[in-house]
Amino acid sequence: MEEFWAKIANNKGTITLKDLNEYKLIGKGADGSVFQLTPDRCVKIFEKEQTKALELKALQVGQSSRVIPRLYEDGPNYIIMEYVKGISLPQFLKKEKQLPESIVEKILAMLVELKKVGFDRIDTEVRHILFDEEMEIRVIDLKRAFGSVRENPTKFLEGIKKKGYLEEFMKHVNTLNPTLYKEWKSIIR
């Protein structure tokens, strides 16, 4: 980490992608890139300050929740947060070829938790749901937690449908929470 801090000091508080070429790239998207700094920390470099500010706010608000990664530090164009060791929901589905009720129960609890911490949008993409080494659920890429109100997981349901697991998911939702099942059944296309 000393080398990382030296690079930030040399760049007047910012970090560039070029500065991180010796670190493992663990994710790249339209908003930025994520590199693993240590076994338990990663850094996300943002393309836009506004996007960084949105994600930082969500991480700060969510620090009381176990489903949100720990926030360690931030700078003008980066956030240092907990590196979640584990697998994404799509990786889990590809490996297991099933969606057990126990996993659906964790997803439902995660959605309740996102609402409990105060997020306006409790929806998330399937690929942003991770399971840590204890198979506890974690959520990443939280930039849309505020600003757009969405109480139903429309994006999630679309994503789980694309993966071919919507019917199995909804069967478990019906068992676990019939009221929610009826509500979501009306929004599925």
Reported as type and span, the H/E element at residue 15 is none
Rounded CA-CA distance 179/170 in Å is 12
State the pLDDT at residue 6.
87
Name 69's bridge partners.
none
Query: Which residues does the chain have with pLDDT short of 50?
Result: none
State the pLDDT at residue 152.
86
- The domains located in the chain, with CATH, are 2-82 (3.30.200.20), 86-185 (1.10.510)
State the pLDDT at residue 9.
87
State the pLDDT at residue 12.
84
State the pLDDT at residue 69.
97
State the pLDDT at residue 62.
96
Angle between helical axes of 166-176 and 101-116 (0-180°, round to 10) = 70
Q: Among the residues of 13-65, which ranges form H helices?
A: 49-61
State the pLDDT at residue 79.
97
